[in-house]
């Protein structure tokens, strides 16, 4: 799990003054990836405001350019994309997805249907993540994809005319759902239908609609069924990306933990497939208020205000896991400061993220004096109201680094996070925003 990483930043996070103020968070990572991909596939001009300028989305942007999109970045932070109308160019070099699972899996759906030949790779973490989950259904659609050891990146793809598929997701994954829907849309013939037994984030469905695609959605006893007909043209669109609720979760958690805090995070995406963390926090007894609710580019957006207060342990049920999957590490930190036991089950997917997040959460919590049990599909945290502190390894995983930074703001001795650079994957301004709210942090080079 540990890789030697040269010249990284570390971060010391101390308990101190209350966190107070009103801040915004950077754009939603999932929506930014999709806006870039659909801008590449569309006919005409796509304008993306509020996009997430962070390493993962830069991987998507670079790949979109290599596949033929013309992209300009304006001084006021918009992307102007001139699309290819689905005629992808053969990239001259390997497509580097960096650390981004979403880039590799979702772009693969388009590449398998339309790029003459392409090779996708990524960093050491991404090259260990499972790819059969996208390779198998795309192969059933007629795709020609070769993978290292049959299941890992690098992936070599020879574009083919694909046919539609009727597919039930074996794992609740929005990335897999999106890859299949995109491939289905670009297929030569046949309707594509995806059934998801558990609801996953539906930004692909919402954004395709904004690009003029007819997406049929039904809620059936077996789960959501989403259908697309091939041959539909994506038309360039104006997309306003809301703030990322998964990034906001760290600020919200910090405000809930640090005595005397009151923080408002504005313009956050509140799509119900993403708000499981807020619901869980409410069950823990936190004071969470939503305001200024509105709809922007097909997504519900609003402001979240959180004030500090005592928390109690809760149960996270398997069915709610997809709605808070990326927030589970920071929820584990909240659980450590709560009174009582918090149990998470049905979250085996955490083991195949940027690192094994179950192992990393358990190791990190133990390093700061918290009792925790690991299960194959989750963890149990024994909260005692207070936490001692210590030093934690991020394992190069942005969500682990930020979760333990939050712990440091409330732990008696603070927390030192080794391997801080990875925060640039999704939230480069995280430390600056915490400091703006009044947090005490100290960076150093390792
Ligand atoms: O579709 C997406 O944008 C994402 C889906 C989730 O992954 P899975 O599809 O692997 O569940 C999530 O963990 C990831 O951060 C982003
Ligand atoms: C799992 C994540 O992203 P990805 O799968 O795109 O690497 C994440 O951001 O927590």
pLDDT attached to residue 7 = 58
**Owning domain of residue 164:** 29-240
**Residue that terminates a domain, selected from 201, 217, 240:** 240
Structure confidence at residue 2 (pLDDT): 45
- Please indicate, yes or no, whether residues 256 and 146 belong to a single structural domain of this protein: no
- Closest-lying ligand 2 atom to the alpha carbon of residue 126: 7
Q: What is the pLDDT of residues 16-48, one digit of tens each?
A: 999 999 999 999 999 999 999 999 999 999 999
326 catalytically annotated: yes
Query: Cβ(106)–Cβ(33) under 8 Å?
Result: yes
pLDDT tens digit sequence for 163-216: 999 999 999 999 999 999 999 999 999 999 999 999 999 999 999 999 999 999
Q: Would the annotation count 216 as a binding residue?
A: no
* pLDDT tens-digit readout, 226-283: 999 999 999 999 999 999 999 999 999 999 999 999 999 999 999 999 999 999 999 9
Answer yes or no: is 232 a known binding residue: no
The stretch 51-71 carries a mean pLDDT of 98
Query: Distance, CA 23 to ligand 2 centroid (Å)?
Result: 23
Both tokens of 8, joined, read 């990284």
Token pair, residue 394, equals 């991020």
Strands 440-445 and 9-14: what pairing?
Answer: antiparallel
Q: Strand 223-228 relative to strand 192-196: parallel, antiparallel, unpaired?
A: antiparallel
Residue 23: inside a domain, yes or no? Answer: yes
Binding site membership of 102 for ligand 2 (Cβ less than 6 Å): yes
Q: 444 pLDDT exceeds 90?
A: no
In terms of domains, do 300 and 221 share one?
A: no
**Does one domain contain both 21 and 74?**
no
User: Within a domain: residue 1?
Assistant: no
Q: Give a yes or no: residue 57 inside a domain.
A: yes
pLDDT of residue 108: 98
Which of 30, 106, 175 for mutating ligand 1's site (highest number of atoms within 8 Å of CB)?
175
Q: Whose CA is nearest to atom 4 of ligand 2?
A: 101
Rounded mean pLDDT, 326-348: 98
Residue-by-residue DSSP string for 419-443: --GGGGGT-TTHHHHHHHTT-EEEE
Distance 411 CA to ligand 1 centre (A): 30
Residue whose C-alpha is closest to residue 357's, from 340, 374, 369, 341: 374
- 89-122 pLDDT, tens digit each: 999 999 999 999 999 999 999 999 998 999 999 9
Q: How does pLDDT run across 288-326, given as a tens digit for each residue?
A: 999 999 999 899 999 999 999 999 999 999 999 999 999
State how far the Cα of 290 lies from the Cα of 281, in Å rounded to an integer. 13
CATH number at residue 43: 3.65.10.10
For residues 163 and 192, is the Cβ–Cβ distance under 8 A? no
* Ligand 2 neighbour 133 (Cβ under 6 A): no
Considering the domain architecture, whether residues 299 and 388 belong to the same structural domain is answered as yes
Cβ 268 vs Cβ 303: under 8 Å:
yes
Are 319 and 375 within one domain? yes
H and E: helices and strands count for the chain: 12, 24
Residue 51 confidence (pLDDT) above 50: yes
pLDDT score at 445: 86
Which pLDDT tens digit goes with each residue over 128-174?
999 999 999 999 999 999 999 999 999 999 999 999 999 999 999 99
Q: Which ligand is nearest to the CA of 179?
A: 1
Task: Report the run of H or E that residue 375 belongs to, with start and end.
Answer: strand 371-375
């Amino acid at each position: 799990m540990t890789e030697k990483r040269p010249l990284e930043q570390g971060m010391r996070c101390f308990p101190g003054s209350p966190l107070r103020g009103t801040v915004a968070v950077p754009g939603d990572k999932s929506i930014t990836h999709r806006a870039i991909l659909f801008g590449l596939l569309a006919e005409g001009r796509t304008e993306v405001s509020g996009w997430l300028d962070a390493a993962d989305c830069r991987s998507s942007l670079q790949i979109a350019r290599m596949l033929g999109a013309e992209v300009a970045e304006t001084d006021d932070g918009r992307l102007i994309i001139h699309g290819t109308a689905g005629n992808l160019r053969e990239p001259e070099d390997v497509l580097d997805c960096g650390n981004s699972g979403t880039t590799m899996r979702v772009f693969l759906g388009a590449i398998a249907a339309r790029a003459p030949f392409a090779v996708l790779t990524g960093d050491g973490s991404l090259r260990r993540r499972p790819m059969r989950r996208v390779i198998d259904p795309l192969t059933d659609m007629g795709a020609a994809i070769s993978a290292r050891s049959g299941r890992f990146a690098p992936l070599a793809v020879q574009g083919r005319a694909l046919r539609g598929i009727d597919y039930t997701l074996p794992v609740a994954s929005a990335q897999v759902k999106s890859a299949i829907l995109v491939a289905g849309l670009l297929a030569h013939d046949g309707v594509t239908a995806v059934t998801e037994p558990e609801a996953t984030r539906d930004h692909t469905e919402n954004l395709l609609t904004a690009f003029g695609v007819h997406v049929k959605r039904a809620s059936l006893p077996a789960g959501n069924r989403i259908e697309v007909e091939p041959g539909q043209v994506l038309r360039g669109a104006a997309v306003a990306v809301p703030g990322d609720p998964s990034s906001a979760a760290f600020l919200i958690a910090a405000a809930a933990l640090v005595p005397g805090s009151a923080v408002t995070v504005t313009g956050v995406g509140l799509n119900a497939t993403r708000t499981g963390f807020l619901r869980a926090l409410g069950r823990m007894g936190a004071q969470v208020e939503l305001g200024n609710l509105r709809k922007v580019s097909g997504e519900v957006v609003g402001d979240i205000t959180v004030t500090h207060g005592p928390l109690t342990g809760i149960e996270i049920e398997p069915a709610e896991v997809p709605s808070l999957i990326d927030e589970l590490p920071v929820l584990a930190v909240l659980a450590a400061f709560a009174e009582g036991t918090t149990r998470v089950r049905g979250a085996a997917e955490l083991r195949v993220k940027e690192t094994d997040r179950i192992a990393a959460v358990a190791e990190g919590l133990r390093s700061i004096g918290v009792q925790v049990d690991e299960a194959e599909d989750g963890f149990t945290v024994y909260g005692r109201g207070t936490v001692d502190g210590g030093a934690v390894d991020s394992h190069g995983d942005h969500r682990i680094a930020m979760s333990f930074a939050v712990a440091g703001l409330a732990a008696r001795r603070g927390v030192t996070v080794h391997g801080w650079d990875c925060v640039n994957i999704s939230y480069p301004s995280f430390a600056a925003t915490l400091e703006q709210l009044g947090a005490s942090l100290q960076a150093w080079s390792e």
